[in-house]
Amino acid sequence: MPQIGWFEILIIVSLAIIIIGPKDFPIMLKKVGSWIGSAKRYVSNVQNEVSSLGNEDFSTDKKKEEKVENNDSK
Q: Which domain holds residue 37?
A: 26-74
Burial 22-44 (b: 16+ CB within 10 A, else e): eeeeeeeeeeeeeeeeeeeeeee
Number of structural domains found in the chain: 1
Tell me, yes or no, whether 44 lies in a domain: yes
Q: Residue 64: inside a domain, yes or no?
A: yes
Average pLDDT of the residues in 64-72: 60
Q: What is the pLDDT of residues 38-66, one digit of tens each?
A: 999 999 999 999 888 877 766 666 666 66
8 is a domain residue: no
> Is 15 inside a domain boundary?
no
> Is position 10 within any domain?
no
User: What is the predicted pLDDT for the residue at 72?
Assistant: 56
Q: Encode pLDDT of 5-45 as tens digits.
A: 999 999 999 999 999 999 999 999 999 999 999 999 999 99
Query: Would 57 be classed as within a structural domain?
Result: yes
Residue 40 lies in a domain: yes
Q: State phi, psi for 60 to the nearest 5 degrees.
A: -70, -35
Domain assignment of residue 18, yes or no: no
